[in-house]
Amino acid sequence: MMNQLAGIKNFQKDPFNFFPNRIKSDVDFKVEQGGFLMNIYDNLKGRTNGLPVAISYIVRRRKYILCVEDNSVTLKEGELPDVPAENSEFIFYRRDSPSEDRTSYTLESSVKSGSYLACSEDGQHVILKPDAKDDRATRFYFEIILVGSEMLFKPDSIKEETPYHILNSHDDFLTAQPEESIATFESDGDAKGERAMFYMNIYREYDSGNGLPVVFSCRVDNKNYLLSAASNSVSLKEGGLPSEIPTKTSEFIFYIIAFSTGQKALRFKSSAAQKFCLAWSVQDPKKTLILNPYHEGVINERMSFFVENQSNI
């Protein structure tokens, strides 16, 4: 199964945003609720000239699938199988639209033959419309954002000078402890305090083939601190952001990399300590941020992190 991260627009070129209980068209599709996974099942035979696809998306780590049920379109929470039945409630056959605009597509239901996904008359909802192959309401436009195993991490979603929570797999949030020159994970501290706010400063001059290069910083009591990985340990060092980093590796540079398709978990790879990533210590009751060896293809929950924008909270 191949995946594409895409924005979906109706025939009026309005972007759709999917929510667990409604669909809207008035919000930028590049935000979390607007980035859809177009899951292509090339292992299914499909109908003539139809590409079998499923449409899913992830919001706050919960996965939803677009399904046809009782002649209506609904969203169901759940996981997509690797090999589904050819006639499944979530399988649609994607075809080029017969219009002159070759970037538009129609999506025919696999369980309701001859019925197509369509835009409602008010332009706000996705519905199922029978015998409407040539109806312009059934034409959809896809803007492919990324293709491949690391597509769920969108570098452009990281905004500098924007505070973020960095969460571990237990929903504990990273907290700066400059008095001890460390950072720890807490579950019952002040989530809105300045110690829990971290900034990701992008250094694009670094080779981005390893991921998005960033410097993590925080501000506590009017002092600026940088996250450092040196001598196989992690610490907070007081100081301002460097205007440039001319060396090939740096104790301050970390590469943000998505773990795998279907996951929003990120890992932070050190540029200075090769094959080491940020992790949290299970032996330490403070859950201190440390460096841990990373083995390709192995997902270690202690290296799994999530970032949440705090600018509007």
At 20, which CATH number?
2.80.10.50
Indicate if 159 and 137 belong to the same structural domain. no
**Domain limit, last residue, from 125, 147, 169:** 147
Distance CA 311, CA 308 (A): 9
Phi, psi (deg, nearest 5) at residue 183: -130, 140
Domain boundary among 130, 147, 164: 147
Give the structural domain span for 250. 155-309
Shared-domain flag, residues 163 and 207: yes
Note every long-range contact of 193-196, with CB atoms under 8 Å and residues 24 or more positions apart, other chains counting.
Answer: 194/218, 194/219, 194/220, 195/220, 196/165
Highest mean pLDDT among 4-13, 43-52, 163-172: 163-172
**Residue 150: partners with Cβ closer than 8 Å, 6 or more residues away:** 257, 258, 260
Token look-up 């919000």 returns 27
Output phi, psi for 34, to 5 deg. Answer: -105, -5
Confidence of residue 151 (pLDDT cuts 50, 70, 90): very low
Confidence tier at 188 by pLDDT (50, 70, 90): confident
Q: Are residues 222 and 187 in the same domain?
A: yes
Which residues are registered as beta bridge partners of 46? Answer: none
Per-residue pLDDT of 270-302, as tens digits, reads 999 888 999 999 888 999 999 999 877 666 789
Same domain, 106 and 69: yes
Is 162 in the same domain as 105?
no
Q: Is 95 helix (H, G, I), strand (E, B) or coil?
A: strand
What pLDDT, on the 0 to 100 scale, is given for residue 25? 46
Among the residue ranges 37-41, 101-105, 268-272, the one predicted with the least confidence is 101-105
Rounded to two decimals, the pTM is: 0.53
Count of structural domains within the chain: 2
- How high is the pLDDT of residue 32? 43
Q: What is the pLDDT of residues 215-238, one digit of tens each?
A: 999 999 999 999 999 888 999 999
CA angle, 17 then 301 then 263, to 5°: 25
164 and 139 in a common domain: no
Residue, of 16 and 18, whose pLDDT is higher? 16
Which tokens belong to 175?
């907290």
The stretch 133-145 carries a mean pLDDT of: 71
199-215: burial string, b at 16+ Cβ within 10 Å, e else: bbbbbeebeeeebbbbb
Q: 167 and 110, same structural domain? A: no
User: Which residues are within 8 A (CB) of 65 and not within 5 positions of it... i.e. 6 or more apart?
Assistant: 54, 55, 56, 75, 76, 77, 78, 80, 90
pLDDT grade, residue 197 (50/70/90)? very high
Mean pLDDT of 81-107: 78
Residue 50 or residue 101, greater confidence: 50
Query: Does the pLDDT value for residue 180 go beyond 60?
Result: yes
**C-alpha 145: how far from its chain's center?**
11
Asked whether residue 132 falls in the same domain as residue 263, the answer is: no
- Contacts of the segment 87-90: beta carbons below 8 A, 24+ positions apart: 87/111, 88/54, 90/54, 90/55, 90/56, 90/65, 90/66
Q: Which of 96, 122, 147 is the last residue of a domain?
A: 147
254 and 286 assigned to the same domain:
yes
Cα(245)–Cα(255) distance, rounded to whole angstroms?
Answer: 14
Rg of the chain on CA atoms, in Å: 22
- Look at residue 153 and tell me whether its pLDDT is greater than 70: no
235 and 199 part of one domain: yes
Do 263 and 188 fall into the same domain?
yes
104 and 207 co-located in one domain? no
